[in-house]
Structure 1
């Protein structure tokens, strides 16, 4: 269990993963200093203020990824920092301004403040499987993907995979910076994340499930992997609470075809209308590789079965009138 009274900072706290990290930290007795872009935007923060013990142990701070030094107040006095703030966009007109700058400069901005704050013992960075799955040469169907895989920035540029590029540059820069400045950092690399939403709006990865239900397949993939947001949040906290935690942690679910996902949804929710995605199977991308998740399991994270995750996702979407 956690050290009662420890103070930690969570950046981008109103986001999908971050909200769950905040919730679990409060349950475990931490005091949380959370950064949001606009603490006066009640629609974006009321789900945080509604969490158990938020009144006593949650403080919100205004901070912007591109505003140098804007995280100082929030990080001051903290034992650890969870840096989750980063834009998730796949359609952009100006990748540099919309994605790369906030991801890259934002990460360095936060790490710079950590470097100047003697109380900070460890930084936990939320990266992505995006930074794992685009290496050169590309991953083959029989490959076993683990923490040693790194996406190739030049390949991302070539294929105009801007989100992957932004996350890759940010993680690479974070490793360089922490190495140069003797900062203890642990990185989490989750895949597509589903599970119940705490925030009132639809986020990118859960929207994927909505798309599949509506008969769309935005990535045109034959297979998808999903991991539960509660497992991802817990992995972040275990990365703080386990002194021996180090390096990167890949966290992803089993390979499931679009048809399998739909079958499971029909079984769970017989009354849910699920549109067919016929007619595009010829162009669908097949990506069947294995992912090794032993390392994150060794932190004490049991992965939630896909069926439970999907069920809880749909229940949550219905509750929030997002489906």
Structure 2
């Protein structure tokens, strides 16, 4: 006689993605659903909001995606969202739309408190691993960085220097990431952090995010605009999603991982786009600025991470902006 339950496919493992409607998180949800072996709990401000329709339209969403009304500052809502999950991807992060009048209250406290709420809820729920999305902003804002060709995971932004220069976003990422790794050390919860550089690629969400705006402003220039020309570090959003899944699934993954694919001057990046789309409004002049140091993603590559060419990333980005009418 066949054993009870034999022949039945195993139920997909449930994982939670906070801030599911965002740029990186939307691609992560798509990547997880494409696998077929994951069910996704996505946290959003309002599941009924049409701006989340792109999530509901993803392949597999009807069967394996649940959207939860949750705010990382509301502990009970986080507990509800992560209940039954074996893994959590903490992507949500406060980014004020305008210059913050009170960064301690509007940005720093929410970043740290929200991260701690997620970690505590995960520990209570018995989550196997938490992957926290940080930023290279937690790596390079430091006037005393070591000499060398590239920055690695040992490098941290200086908190006092971030305060002095009022670099609140990078400070929020630094504080939240340090808190996450400290919490893991104290409690034994498996926490891995991933630090992407400037993220480009085709958006899935209907709104334009900050990193896409960086590229768009170099494709819609007024004749009088002079753009800063400096080396910037870049990575494709789809490759970031792959990195996050890799950090979750690799048993040997531990600590923090820099996720950056290309380092190039802005003018050289724009030249690549110009070669493909010569009729856009490109900058007529540049102002030289201090270059950003390159980042090493060697630790992440040792997990098996691979990334797209910059040409593919830029082409797909511009095509998506054109299709959305953003460059008109």
| TM-score, scaled to structure 2 | 0.91
SS where residue 75 of structure 2 aligns? coil
Distance 1:221 1:27, change over 3 A: same
Larger radius of gyration, structure 1 or 2?
Answer: 2
TM superposition shift of 1:4? 6.4
Q: Is the 8 A contact 1:39 1:45 kept in 2?
A: yes
Residue 299 of structure 1: CA displacement? Answer: 2.0
Shift of 1:301: 1.7
- Alpha-carbon distance, 1:271 to partner: 2.5
**Cα distance, 1:95–1:53 mapped onto 2, change above 3 Å:** same
- Structure 1 vs Structure 2 CA RMSD: 1.7
Q: 1:143 to 1:217 in 2, by over 3 A?
A: farther
5+ unaligned residues in a row in structure 1: which ranges?
A: none
> In the aligned structure 1, how far is the partner of 2:102 from the partner of 2:290?
26
- Given that 1:6 and 1:31 are in contact with CA atoms closer than 8 Å, whether structure 2 keeps it comes out as yes
Q: Report what 2:311 is aligned to.
A: 307
Offset of 1:133 from its aligned partner? Answer: 0.7
Say whether residues 1:132 and 2:139 are aligned partners: yes
Does the 8 A contact of 1:39 with 1:60 survive in 2?
A: yes
Distance of 1:175 and 1:162 partners within structure 2:
20
**Corresponding residue for residue 104 of structure 2:** 96
1:285 aligns with 2:304: no
Which one of the candidate residues 251, 254, 272 is aligned to 2:280?
272
Runs (4+) off by over 6 Å: none
Q: Which residue of the other structure, out of 251, 254, 268, is the alignment partner of 1:246?
A: 254
- Look up the SS of the partner of 2:43 in the other structure: strand
Instruction: Give the Cα separation in 2 of the matches to 1:175 and 1:303.
Output: 26
8 Å Cα contact 2:226-2:284 kept in structure 1: no
Kindly indicate whether the alpha-carbon contact (under 8 Å) linking 2:226 and 2:283 is maintained by their aligned counterparts in 1: no
Question: Could you tell me whether the CA contact under 8 Å between 1:88 and 1:204 is conserved in 2?
Answer: no
- Equivalent of residue 58 in structure 2, options 27, 48, 51: 51
1:184 is aligned to: 190
1:320 CA drift (Å): 1.6
Return the match for 1:156 from 151, 162, 181: 162
Give a deviation string over 1:5-38, Cα, whole Å, max 9, x none: 1110000000000000000000011100110011
Distance 2:226 2:77 in 1: 39
1:113 aligns with 2:121: yes
Listed one character per residue, the Cα deviations across residues 88-131 of structure 1 (whole Å, up to 9, x for unaligned) are 3473222122211221110001111011112x100000000000
The CA deviation at 1:305 is 0.7
Given that residues 133 and 139 in structure 1 are in contact (C-alpha distance below 8 angstroms), is that contact kept between their aligned partners in structure 2? no
Alignment map for 1:194-233 (pairs within 5 Å): 194-215=200-221, 220-233=228-241
Match of 2:88 among 81, 86, 92: 81
Residue 259 of structure 1 corresponds to 267
Size of the aligned set, in residue pairs, is 313
Aligned equivalents of 1:109, 1:229: Cα separation in 2: 26
Report SS of the residue matched to 1:212.
Answer: coil
Structure 2 distance, partners of 1:63, 1:183, is 22
1:6 aligns with 2:10: no
The residue that corresponds to 1:72 in the other structure is 79
Deviations 1:27-79 (A, max 9, x none): 0111001100111211x200000000100000000111222222111100101
Look up the SS of the partner of 2:232 in the other structure.
strand
Preserved CA contact (<8 Å) 1:69 1:109 = no
Contact 1:6–1:79, Cα closer than 8 Å, also in 2? yes
2:219, 2:284 → 1: CA distance?
Answer: 8
